[in-house]
Chain A
């Protein structure tokens, strides 16, 4: 249970960073929508889980937030990537690509390749 959350949070965090990197400052709903569009089901049910992740990133200094006006003229909290966040994103992207490549290769391996 715990581990699943960790993996989810880890991937979510990376998605948040990438989303902010690509689209610039966004409020929570905007981020959730974007991730939903791209990842499909991951946030379809529990959009709320995004907020603890946002908080954690903010506390780490990867993102910053301030109040602004949303498209329907409501007060909304806008999150933007910081310099540190950009560095973190680069590092983690690299990590992730590496990991993903390794995992992918593992999955492609067939029994005869190892003999």
Chain B
């Protein structure tokens, strides 16, 4: 009880110590005054009386120390004193403080941003309850595609999932009464929301019980964002009927604001039951087991106690059953589990994030190395102060604690600044919609984890670089230093500081190399050969189902559109491609191709799985794809003519050996159609810029028209000016037909998005690395010059030339720079192999990149050593010698 009370009082006293000091001083004074008076009365002279009084009182300072120890809690008090002292010291050298804080802020900021992105994308991709236990099924590598009947079997036969939900995309014309607009959403299984365990913001969701066969559930759930922007938060919208591609659907609910669908980067406008898919896509896929593109992904929560490995084995077993039961329509592929929402690009995103994490870690390391050398230099500068304090009786631990306090203080300030910056950046990024037309965004919500990670990183790095001067302090011999002053020589051997700086330069060179490789790769991919020409080309996306066309009406209308646009002045070629053109929205479908003689069309006999494009005559000219052999399509290649195909060179080579030998040969499609190859075109890119060369075949769109299609328009004129002309022409044909008109280059942005992101992030990190190494080299050079001013002065007085002085002053820094850069360049070249996965044609074995890195590093070196060099050259020996 007594000790507790004492502790509290002491704690309190620690807080108000100034007043307490005052009180003690007054008491001592009073005490001595009384004693002095008494001594005077005893007959001593005034001076002697006071002296005797002081003697009798004893050592005032020692007593004060004891008194303080008695009064407050010494460790807190010492800590506060350390902090105050540290603040004073840092304020005394503002440039040092600024450099240290900025360095650390950059490093911590970069790490916090990268961690924030990783946190959002990998650790908690979906904003739903129990997301960690929510798995998507992968069927084949990195894809969740399934046919609808397969999904139903998976759902009903597996024993590992609580329940399995499925969804796919639905692009519709949504008409609220006056004007049809395009909207994109998910067609989801009835149990979708129940599997996700989320509740509606308004109204209700649809459920499994609503599904009664095809087109039985015309219900619509809107996303919060779409409701907010299109219906202005009108609560009365629930219950209203809207037209989806001219079919009535009833809006039954609004999804909660934090729920943005189950696919990362994509925010759907609405959710509709997948059983009504036929009404919006025009084809009924619910019974087609062979069509593995009916379902984009299936996902669900694992039952309690079921491990992912067990679930995979279970799925394999269902797959084996399906293969046995439907040998012609089902091919067993490897099942795997991915994180729901990420299934399709899990490994790519992970690899990219791992790379970024690594680079950000390197930045932090470089910053630490930088700060360590800064602190080491500062420690050396302060060796005299340290020695003085040691000889005045301060313990070494006390001094070390003081130095560490300074380091931690800097790291906390730098960390907080970096954290603030990163939060601002993350917030901006999460508002960002990279593609105005597409419902794509990056959901980043900074949460507590980021704060913790950033602060822990800051504290750890603070301790790390704060430890550097420890050895220095422990070895300090106060006698020597006080005697000889602090102008000791800079060590001849390789010191820790040199090593740190070398490592840091190397790290920086790695970053510079990789960012250059990325930039170069991006530049090349912008001017790469995709097998078609994206410049001067317009793409016009239409979905005739949205305007009520169907069956035979579709090809007729498409021909009319082509004819009409060909009549627009300035238009050179017009062609049409079903669904999506290559490299647009990452869409593309493959088709199973068998050798001509194959009779048993089971999946194991597939000869090739090329990309399939259905195009009209004029497409190759409009797309700028050059024909290598044979003929393009004509308007006669329709349903009544024999099936013909144009292959790309890769397909021709793989199937038949060469382009020329492929002409006139046949292959078989899944539906047993024999198709003759009548032409061969150049190779191209289809799904992504980084893909290796893929086979592709082109079939005649006249044989299998699709309501969803893109018209490709080529012109010599500025295609932007053509857009309004084309739009008015289309309106003349049918005013109720929504059409998206964009340049091909605009839509290509989506394909280029990953490499853009990679390039920008690498560029930023590279720039940071550059800044860090400049400050590092600068610090070292400036320090070495200031240390050796006297020596340099003597050399100059003895007749040294400018060159020799410079060499003496900066030789070491330059050598470090050279060695570090060389090592970094080598490592960067190795590291860039990883980059090749993200950035198209990223190759470090590019003379331009190598030269660029060398030039960049030399420029950085020049920049960093300029001021110290000037200072070394401006030494006035006479003045310098007089000074000391």
Tell me the A residues contacting B by CB distance below 8 Å. 27-29, 32, 44-49, 51-52, 55-56, 59-61, 70-72, 74-77
Contacts and interface: CB of A to CB of B under 8 A. Distances in A.
Contact of B70 (A27, A29, A55, A76): A55
A45 B58 contact: yes
Given A29-B35, A46-B58, 6 more contacts: A27-B27, A27-B30, A28-B27, A29-B30, A51-B24, A56-B6
A51 B67 contact: yes
Contacts of B56: 44-45, 47
A70 to B, nearest CB: 7
Nearest to B71: A55
Given A48-B60, A48-B63, A52-B67, A28 B31 contact: yes
Contacts of A29: 30-31, 34-35
A67 to B, nearest CB: 9
A81 to B, nearest CB: 16
A44 B57 CA distance: 8
Given A48-B57, A51-B24, A61 B30 contact: no
15 contacts: A29-B35, A47-B57, A47-B58, A48-B58, A48-B60, A48-B63, A51-B24, A55-B70, A59-B5, A70-B30, A72-B33, A74-B30, A74-B34, A75-B30, A76-B27
B30 A49 contact: no
Contacts of B71: 55, 59
Select the residue from B6, B34, B56 with max chain A CB neighbours within 10 A.
Answer: B34
B637 interface: no
A76 B66 CA distance: 21
A71 B57 CA distance: 20
A28 B60 CA distance: 15
B35 A59 contact: no
B10 A49 contact: no
Interface residues of B, number: 28
A27 B34 CA distance: 11
Contacts of A76: 27, 30, 34
A70 B2 contact: no
Interface string B2-39: 10011001100000000000011011101101110100
Interface string B627-663: 0000000000000000000000000000000000000
Contacts of B66: 49, 52
Interface in B27-85: 27-28, 30-31, 33-35, 37, 55-60, 63, 66-67, 69-71
B67 to A, nearest CB: 5
Most buried by B among A47, A72, A75, A76: A47
A28 B5 CA distance: 23
B22 to A, nearest CB: 12
B375 to A, nearest CB: 37
B37 A60 contact: no
Nearest to A72: B37
Contacts of B37: 72
A60 B6 contact: yes
Nearest to A46: B58
Contacts of B33: 72, 74
B27 A77 contact: yes
B31 A47 contact: yes
A63 B28 CA distance: 19
Contacts of B26: 75, 77
A55 B23 CA distance: 11
Contacts of A49: 58, 63, 66
**Listed residue (A28, A59, A71, A76) with the most chain B CB atoms within 10 angstroms of its CB:** A59
Contact of B34 (A52, A59, A70): A70
Top 9 A-B pairs, shortest CB-CB distance: A46-B58, A48-B63, A48-B58, A29-B34, A52-B70, A59-B9, A29-B31, A48-B57, A52-B67
A32 B53 CA distance: 12
Nearest to A53: B70
Interface in B498-534: none
Contacts of B67: 51-52, 55
Contacts of A27: 27, 30-31, 34
Contacts of B69: 52
A60 B30 contact: no
Contacts of A60: 2, 5-6
B101 to A, nearest CB: 41
A54 B24 CA distance: 11
Interface in B653-700: none
Contacts of A47: 31, 35, 56-58
A70 B31 CA distance: 10
A64 to B, nearest CB: 12
A65 B639 CA distance: 111
A7 to B, nearest CB: 15
A63 to B, nearest CB: 13
A60 B6 CA distance: 6
A76 B70 CA distance: 21
A51 B27 contact: yes
Nearest to B56: A47
A49 to B, nearest CB: 6
A61 B28 contact: no
Contacts of A71: 34
A48 B60 CA distance: 7
A72 B2 CA distance: 36
Interface string B737-751: 000000000000000
Name, among A45, A46, A70, A71, the residue most crowded by chain B CB atoms within 10 Å (CB to CB): A46
A75 B33 CA distance: 11
A29 B58 CA distance: 13
Contact of A51 (B6, B28, B35): B28
A18 to B, nearest CB: 19
A23 to B, nearest CB: 16
A45 B55 CA distance: 7
B63 A52 contact: yes
A46 B61 CA distance: 12
B63 A51 contact: yes
Contacts of A48: 28, 57-60, 63
A76 B37 CA distance: 15
A60 B33 CA distance: 28
A51 B59 CA distance: 12
B2 A61 contact: yes
Contacts of A77: 23, 26-27, 30
A34 B57 CA distance: 15
A43 to B, nearest CB: 9
A51 B34 CA distance: 15
A74 B30 CA distance: 7
**Most A Cβ at <10 Å: residue of B23, B31, B58:** B31
Nearest to B3: A60
A69 B67 CA distance: 23
A72 B34 contact: yes
Contacts of B23: 77
B27 to A, nearest CB: 5
Contact of A59 (B6, B55, B58, B60): B6
B72 to A, nearest CB: 10
A45 B24 CA distance: 19
Contacts of B57: 46-48
Contacts of B34: 27, 29, 70-72, 74, 76
Contact of A56 (B58, B59, B70): B70
Contacts of B55: 45
Nearest to A43: B56
Given A27-B30, A72-B34, A75-B26, A61 B63 contact: no
Nearest to A60: B2
Contacts of A44: 56
Nearest to B10: A59
A44 B58 CA distance: 9
A48 B23 CA distance: 14
A28 B28 CA distance: 9
Contacts of A74: 30, 33-34
Nearest to B55: A45
B851 to A, nearest CB: 71
Nearest to A55: B70
